[in-house]
């Protein structure tokens, strides 16, 4: 196997430099082509079986499967009840736990280190570094997702899907960046992460002579003064848009406004499902829920086992009910067996406002390439197609959802051929189960910096400062044995230096062939948060 690996690396290196990689639209990263070559026969047999299963499903329902992707916010690995959290940490998730056990629960699922980057990844199937958008966006910034990126909504629209999104867009606030101009037929969305919606409340708290505790955002001058001083308006922070039409402002910028927006999103999703179930075309829903942001759900704060000090826990329990109700509606309407639902978090917990935050059993947090920052809870639910009770160790990355959706939609030929797609089709893992995952490596970026690489169970952190006396600048872990990354070492893993170097070499060579997009509005080095 090692000889095949080395020989294939040399072959792929020559291909990367010399000729186009493939006539097929899909251009995966170079290391994946090694796995394609090694597993050619096995994967061809699997693909034949998958095609039969999907064909039978299409014959039964008369259309391709519906797809619902739910992207939660700041929910750490270990936060859910099925991972040892739940009521034991004051954040009950009983219905989400049922969803996990009725389908597939992933213990080795990964996202990007923070919110905007993961939203880029799920929408484009690409590491953010490739897109020219590297950092978390804040109110008033003119950066956003380039219109030249091909979103999952654009791919699925070409395949005949209805497409809609709700929740936290966070990929730019100009109209050119808006979801209705990035492939979505309909969008009901917030521009920012949860923090700006709490800024006005912090200001109001300080105007009270006896504020109920300290506000989270010190010295915010109020919306009017902020606009006067910085030229930045927070209003409106929410919009409703339709493809080809001018968007309309909705909602109020406040924590209550955020909670109300979440409730309205849920109501609209239920209505949308009931409408589209009758269509001869399948639907795609992207719900980037504001769960685990700074707002709370008052009606849930005194529920048994709830940590009343942490309002985010109450928001999580309300989301728990929302998701379960949607699954029940899919069952009731007879379309559950033709609907894939994937739930995944966007990154690890944000401890900046502790104890008002999520939590992880792993080392690190939001913004880190440590496991606590990028390893996240995820579940997939599809009655009759995904066998219940599964807990695979196979690796899943959030970019994989892009390519997997394209495969299920019969739209692999709709993927752009002039760029690298980092996402790997994981339909085999979903439908055939553990051991059929197709990802054996992962690159973890922090902004524009490659911070860590995983190869099988071994993860290498690339340390800053360069080589020390010629020794490799690395700290290495076996993240199956040591998922909390407590015992990093270099010397016992010197045997991995060359394999890791080869993976990085192939990755970098392909970047030369397909250069990263460069931002036209953000000069290099001007980002205040380049590593978020």
pLDDT score recorded for residue 530? 47
Helical H segments across 391-452, by residue range: 400-408, 427-432
Predicted confidence band at 454 (pLDDT cuts at 50, 70, 90)?
A: very high
pLDDT score recorded for residue 17? 44
Looking only at Cα atoms, what is the longest distance across the chain? Answer: 73
Instruction: Check: CB of residue 197 under 8 Å from CB of residue 254.
Output: yes
- Find the domain containing 202 and state its range: 198-234
Interatomic CA distance for residues 92 and 445, integer angstroms: 32
- Residue-wise pLDDT for 62-106, tens only, equals 999 999 999 999 999 999 999 999 999 999 999 999 999 999 999
Interatomic CA distance for residues 448 and 378, integer angstroms: 26
161 found inside a domain: no
Q: What angle do CA 269, 271, 274 make, to 5 degrees?
A: 110
pLDDT score recorded for residue 23? 43
Q: How far is CA 157 from the centre of its chain?
A: 20
User: Which residues are within 8 A (CB) of 507 and not within 5 positions of it... i.e. 6 or more apart?
Assistant: 29, 30, 31, 443
117 found inside a domain: no
76 found inside a domain: no
The count of other CB atoms within 10 Å of the CB of residue 219 is: 8
Asked whether residue 514 carries a pLDDT value surpassing 80, the answer given is yes
207 found inside a domain: yes
Relative orientation angle of helices 255-276 and 194-207, to the nearest 10 degrees: 150
Predicted confidence band at 519 (pLDDT cuts at 50, 70, 90)?
A: confident
Residues in the chain: 532
Predicted confidence band at 21 (pLDDT cuts at 50, 70, 90)?
A: very low
- Full DSSP string of 269-312: HHHHHHHHTTSSS-EEEEEE--TTSS---GGGTTSTT--TT-HH
pLDDT score recorded for residue 246? 95
219 found inside a domain: yes
Closest to 162 in 3D by CA, of 107, 246, 243, 71: 243
Closest to 440 in 3D by CA, of 119, 39, 3: 39
Query: 341 pairs with which residues across the strands?
Result: 68, 381
Ordered strands of the 449-455 beta sheet: 441-446, 449-455, 458-462, 474-478
Predicted confidence band at 12 (pLDDT cuts at 50, 70, 90)?
A: low
Predicted confidence band at 212 (pLDDT cuts at 50, 70, 90)?
A: low
Domain count, the chain: 1
Interatomic CA distance for residues 356 and 352, integer angstroms: 9
- Residue-wise pLDDT for 170-209, tens only, equals 999 999 999 999 999 999 999 999 889 989 888 888 787 5
DSSP 65: P
29 found inside a domain: no
pLDDT score recorded for residue 18? 44
Q: Phi-psi region for residue 6, left (φ > 0), alpha (ψ -120 to 50) or beta?
A: alpha
224 found inside a domain: yes
Q: Which is more confidently placed, 3 or 47? A: 47
225 found inside a domain: yes
- Residue-wise pLDDT for 349-371, tens only, equals 999 888 888 899 999 999 999 99
């Amino acid at each position: 196997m090692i000889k095949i690996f080395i020989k294939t690396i040399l072959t792929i290196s020559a291909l990367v430099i010399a000729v186009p990689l493939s006539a097929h639209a899909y251009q995966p990263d170079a290391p994946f082509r090694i796995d394609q070559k090694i597993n050619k026969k096995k994967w061809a047999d699997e693909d034949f079986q998958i095609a039969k299963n999907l064909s039978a499903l299409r014959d039964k329902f008369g259309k391709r499967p519906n797809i619902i992707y739910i992207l939660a916010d700041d929910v750490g690995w270990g936060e859910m009840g099925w991972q040892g959290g739940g009521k034991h940490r004051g954040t009950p998730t009983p219905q989400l736990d049922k969803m996990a056990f009725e389908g597939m629960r992933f213990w080795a699922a990964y996202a990007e280190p923070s919110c905007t980057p993961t939203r880029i990844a799920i929408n484009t199937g690409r590491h953010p570094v490739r897109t020219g958008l590297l950092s978390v966006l804040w109110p008033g910034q003119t950066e956003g997702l380039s219109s030249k990126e091909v979103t999952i909504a654009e791919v699925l629209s070409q395949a005949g899907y209805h497409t809609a999104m709700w929740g936290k867009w966070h990929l730019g606030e100009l109209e050119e960046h808006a979801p209705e101009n990035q492939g979505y037929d309909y969008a009901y969305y917030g521009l920012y992460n949860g923090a700006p919606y709490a800024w006005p409340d912090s200001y109001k708290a300080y105007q009270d002579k006896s504020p109920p505790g300290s506000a989270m955002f010190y010295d915010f001058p109020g919306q009017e003064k902020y606009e006067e001083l910085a030229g930045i308006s927070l209003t409106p922070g929410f919009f409703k848009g339709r493809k080809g039409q001018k968007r309309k402002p909705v909602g109020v910028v406040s924590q209550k406004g955020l909670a109300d927006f979440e409730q309205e999103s849920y109501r609209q999703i239920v209505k949308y499902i009931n409408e589209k179930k009758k269509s001869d075309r399948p639907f795609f829903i992207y719900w980037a829920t504001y769960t685990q942001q700074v707002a709370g759900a008052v009606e849930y704060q005194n529920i048994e086992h709830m940590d009343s000090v942490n309002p985010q826990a109450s928001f999580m329990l309300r989301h728990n009910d929302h998701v379960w109700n949607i699954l029940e509606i899919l069952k009731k309407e007879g379309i559950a067996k033709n609907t894939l639902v994937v739930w995944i978090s966007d990154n690890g917990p944000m401890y900046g406002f502790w104890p008002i935050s999520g939590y992880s059993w792993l080392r690190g947090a939001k913004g880190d390439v440590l496991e606590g920052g990028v390893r996240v809870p995820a579940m997939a639910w599809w009655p009759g197609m995904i066998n219940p009770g599964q807990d695979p160790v196979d690796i899943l990355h959030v970019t994989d959802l892009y390519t997997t959706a394209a495969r299920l939609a019969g739209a692999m030929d709709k993927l752009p051929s002039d760029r690298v797609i980092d996402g790997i089709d994981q339909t085999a893992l979903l439908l055939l189960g553990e051991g059929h995952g197709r990802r054996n490596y992962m690159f973890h970026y922090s902004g524009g910096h490659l911070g860590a690489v995983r190869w099988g169970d071994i993860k290498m952190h690339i340390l800053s400062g360069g080589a020390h006396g010629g020794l490799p600048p690395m700290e290495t872990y076996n993240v199956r044995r040591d998922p909390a990354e407590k015992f990093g070492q270099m010397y016992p893993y010197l045997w991995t230096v060359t394999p890791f170097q080869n993976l990085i070499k192939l990755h970098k060579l392909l970047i030369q062939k397909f250069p990263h997009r460069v931002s036209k509005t953000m000069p290099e080095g001007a980002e205040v948060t380049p590593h978020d």
